[in-house]
Amino acid sequence: MKLYNHFRSSASFRVRVALELKGLPYEYVPLHLVRGEHRRTDYASHVGDALVPTLETDDGHWLTQSMAIIEYLDETHPEPALLPQGAPARAQVRALAQMIACEIHPLNNLRVLKYLKHDLMLDESGKDAWYRHWTRSGLEAFERQLRLLAAEREAAGLAASTFCVGRSPTLADCCLVPQIFNAQRFHVDLEGLDLGMQAFRSCMQLPAFQRAQPSACPDSEE
């Protein structure tokens, strides 16, 4: 498999985590977003939105959108599972993942930040204030949801989660860790997000997350 991605892309980071957790070998194909390499014809001709990541499978399919790619990997390589057993639990994990992938990330990706700066003429401090506001408010909502799930587990007599949901990483953790990395890079206030940061620390103790992080990528020096 080939993964077309950028080291700082949080969506790419999610997929790298899933690949590493499942121990799947892949070819890392860097596309530098700031330089516009994702708009090259040889790539964009296969990808409708010309974004990253894209996974080119061994049988020639070009799969886009990080969430769809990760669920594809979970269906084709079920172990270790990134979604728990039982429809309610799976829905809870998907909801957490979507709080990040669909609520926080779209407001703060590179395209939006460039538009704020170059088209709406926000200065650097204004752009960063936008990023910090929407990231912090989104992570606060994520934290509230983690607390509700923690209370539900306690009422059911289940052990407290060490990750977002349960005692092993799930799709939700694949999304949380890249968002925290970006939040730290933009100096977002992370105080009071106790359960989210606990899950983040648990993840970063695992070699799979360490191998997937931006500083471990071959294009991180560019």
Residue 67's closest CA among 171, 143, 158, 215? 171
Mean pLDDT within 187-209 = 98
- pLDDT > 70? residue 222: no
- pLDDT > 90? residue 186: yes
- pLDDT > 90? residue 221: no
Mean pLDDT within 179-192 = 97
**CATH topology assigned to domain 87-210:** Glutathione S-transferase Yfyf (Class Pi); Chain A, domain 2 (1.20.1050)
Mean pLDDT within 64-93 = 97
- pLDDT > 80? residue 150: yes
| Cβ atoms 21, 82 nearer than 8 A | yes
pLDDT tens digit string along 80-122?
Answer: 999 999 999 999 999 999 999 999 999 999 999 999 999 999 9
Distance of alpha carbon 104 from alpha carbon 216, whole angstroms: 24
**CATH topology assigned to domain 2-80:** Glutaredoxin (3.40.30)
Rg from Cα positions in the chain:
17
Return the percentage of the chain with pLDDT > 70, whole number: 100
- The pair of three-digit structure tokens given for residue 29, joined into one six-digit string: 């194909």
Same fold, 2-80 and 87-210: no
Strand bridging mode 54-56 / 62-64: antiparallel
Q: 3-state DSSP call for residue 71?
A: helix
Note the pLDDT of residue 220: 86
Mean pLDDT within 63-82 = 98
- Which has more confidence, 221 or 43? 43
pLDDT tens digit string along 7-53?
Answer: 999 999 999 999 999 999 999 999 999 899 999 999 999 999 999 99
Domain boundaries, the chain: 2-80, 87-210
Distance of alpha carbon 35 from alpha carbon 5, whole angstroms: 13
